[in-house]
Amino acid sequence: MSAIEDARLKAEQEEKDRLERERLERRRSERIEAAESQRYTAESQDLLSLLEGNRNALVTLLEDRKQKAQWLRFMKCDGSPDPTVNAEINTYINLWKEDESRNDLDAVLKESNQTLDLINELQQYLEAADNIDLTDGEVLRYEETIVELEDLLHAKQDAATFELLKVSNSVFSSSLPLTSSSILKLLIPFHF
């Protein structure tokens, strides 16, 4: 055999060895990829199972929280309307709007506190909207109710201020002497 023949055989053997190494490397890579794929699938299923369990626990927690809030609302027994019930809040708004006999400052301040409590309750619902599954319609209705309550509150405060100004105007326009005791007698019904 000549040197050329030996070189050719050696080159062929090296090529066969290289191809065999590549084939073995591919098989090893395929086994690793298959194992990774199985591990990924198993981890994905475990994660999905964990997420589903967490989602169910969250739904249960939120539902329990919502029921507890409804129960606490029911147990208040203070006669105030539930601001999330359209009929109750509309009745409250209309009755207070139409009641012109209670525009004195004391009555308006008492009713204002209840109205502010209702506004705060609605705002708490809106802040927790993502967690208690409020629909877009409910969110919009709560926002509109807040605006209505705020408008009514301002109107009633304006009416009470007007009544107070009428009383003070009659005092100042009368011929009675203005003494501190006469002013106090006029203001006592307003309980500053």
* Average pLDDT by stretches of 10, the chain with 192 residues: 84 93 95 94 94 90 80 80 90 90 84 91 81 79 94 91 78 62 61 48
Q: What is the pTM of this model?
A: 0.59
Distance CA 183, CA 77 (A): 39
Distance CA 126, CA 120 (A): 10
pLDDT at 192: 46
Buried residues in 82-95 as b, exposed as e (16+ CB within 10 A): bbbeeeebeebbee
